[in-house]
Structure 1
Amino acid sequence: MSKKLIIWDFDGVISDTEKLWVENRRRMLNEKFGLNWDFATANRYLGGRSDKTKKEELDRLGIVTDDAFWKEALDRDYELLEEGIELTEGIENIFSNTGLRQCIATGGIKKKTLAKIKSVGIGSYFGEDKIFTADMVEHGKPEPDLFLLAADRMGFEPKDCVVIEDSLAGMTAGLKAGMTVIAFLGFEMNQSTEYLKQVKALGIKHVSYTMEEVEKFIVEQLTKTS
């Protein structure tokens, strides 16, 4: 049995979907509140967070949204899902490794997460006992609650967990949980020099741009503990 637990974020890691949800909310905020946010600004405040923690961040900025706003945002998300999403290249090679213990811990709600998993066809790798979502904890990312829940339910100590994340909020949560964090920057939205500086400023030591690099790091971690 693997001595490490691999914890996957979904949006921006398993599939290039984070940009869809951020862009959807950016447009709605600009339309309804007269903002002039570009994508980078929206990603700074909203990226990697559940809608609950997005709302809290907007409240902090003085942008007060109601339940109708978030229902409309979620409805638009489901419309985007119906158009189809794709699995990140090379990731299924890792999922299919039966020697690894793996689970998903995502800032999305369970219903939406199950729809995403179905859309990319990875349900055979991740049963519901291996899926952990923001609505299962009181505090979402950047707090560590979700990752700690995943580790506990899967029977691992935090120090024996490897988190693969693309967002600053998710990376922060993994570090707060006392886990090893891989920053996956394989998609364009997270490949600016400024974003890499922000990742490094968190203290992230491991940055990967392809799933081949992620797989190599995982193997190295397992070798160290074997």
Structure 2
Amino acid sequence: MMGVIFDFNGTLFFDGEQQERAWRLFAREAFGKEISDGEFRECVHGRNNDFTMQHLAGKALSARQVDEYVEEKETIYRRLCREDAARFHLALGAEELLDELRERGIPRTIATASRRGNVDFYIESFRLERWFDVEKLVYDDGTILGKPAPDFYLRAAETLGLEPKNCIVFEDAVSGLRAAAAAGAGKVIAVAPEERREAFERMPEVYEVIPNFHEFDRLLLRE
């Protein structure tokens, strides 16, 4: 039996538009900076907050400065999520898969670059305690090297009591897919819209690409 590790943003919760709007609004307000599309892909998407904030600032920042900037950005982000009620839900097929994992007793957790404030926001909004031990979720607590380093997924596998090779990882970001592969995950599955499928299929780290969780082959859980 395999364990399952989920990235969250862009994987279990399709919040790409809200995240991008929040980052662009924040960068404009805090630094007077416009983020290019390429810069967003390379320096924001899937990266931890320390890396992104120091990139946007163009200089080293203290931990306190990073925390203050992060809270500004996340306040914007959470407001945008609440305002977009039509899209404020888990990804297509996610609840059904999570119900099945729970019923079958399959080990599962989340490994997200989000910080505690957003993790608490997600737990409350989506009632994640229905499917996860919320005290053991892996998030950016300031002690874990960010993706594409393997540390998030190594720790997640450890919390499940499994070797990474016995885990399936769901991810949506290049940095996260590489992190999962570097950790030695048994299967690395990209969750992506059709327009990104071809690019992800070319990545040697990716076992398969699915548009939503209805398309996930449950037989992989038995390997």
The interval holding the TM-score normalised by the smaller chain is: 0.7 to 0.9
The answer (yes or no) to whether the contact 2:200–2:209 under 8 Å persists in 1 is no
Amino acid at match of 1:13: T
Higher mean alpha-carbon deviation, 37-46 vs 142-151, is at: 37-46
Q: Which residue of 1 aligns with 2:43?
A: 45
The answer (yes or no) to whether the contact 2:22–2:74 under 8 Å persists in 1 is no
The answer (yes or no) to whether the contact 2:190–2:200 under 8 Å persists in 1 is no
Give the TM-score normalised by structure 1.
0.81
Could you list the runs of 5+ residues in structure 1 that have no partner in the other structure? none
| Partner residue of 2:126 out of 120, 128, 143 | 120
TM alignment of 1:48-63, pairs within 5 A: 48-58=46-56, 62=58
SS of 1:43's equivalent in the other structure is helix
After superposing on structure 2, the runs of 4+ consecutive aligned residues of structure 1 that deviate more than 6 Å are none
Matched, 1:96 2:94: no
Q: Deviations over 1:44-76 (max 9, x none)?
A: 3200122123235546xx466644433311221
Structure 1 residues 162, 136: closer, same or farther in 2, change over 3 A? farther
Give the TM-score normalised by structure 2.
0.82
| Partner residue of 1:171 out of 177, 195, 217 | 177
C-alpha RMSD over aligned residues: 2.5
SS of 1:133's equivalent in the other structure is coil
| Partner residue of 1:185 out of 185, 189, 192 | 192
The answer (yes or no) to whether the contact 1:136–1:146 under 8 Å persists in 2 is no
SS of 2:141's equivalent in the other structure is helix
The answer (yes or no) to whether the contact 1:168–1:199 under 8 Å persists in 2 is no
The answer (yes or no) to whether the contact 1:104–1:131 under 8 Å persists in 2 is yes
The answer (yes or no) to whether the contact 1:53–1:141 under 8 Å persists in 2 is no
Q: Which residue of 2 aligns with 1:144?
A: 150
C-alpha separation in 1, matches of 2:46 and 2:164? 20
Structure 1 residues 106, 40: closer, same or farther in 2, change over 3 A? same
C-alpha separation in 2, matches of 1:159 and 1:171? 14
Amino acid at match of 2:209: V
Amino acid at match of 1:70: V
Deviation for aligned residue 1:144? 1.1
Q: Deviations over 1:132-156 (max 9, x none)?
A: 1111633121111111111111100
The answer (yes or no) to whether the contact 1:14–1:88 under 8 Å persists in 2 is yes
C-alpha separation in 1, matches of 2:34 and 2:7? 29
Amino acid at match of 1:90: G
C-alpha separation in 1, matches of 2:137 and 2:23? 25
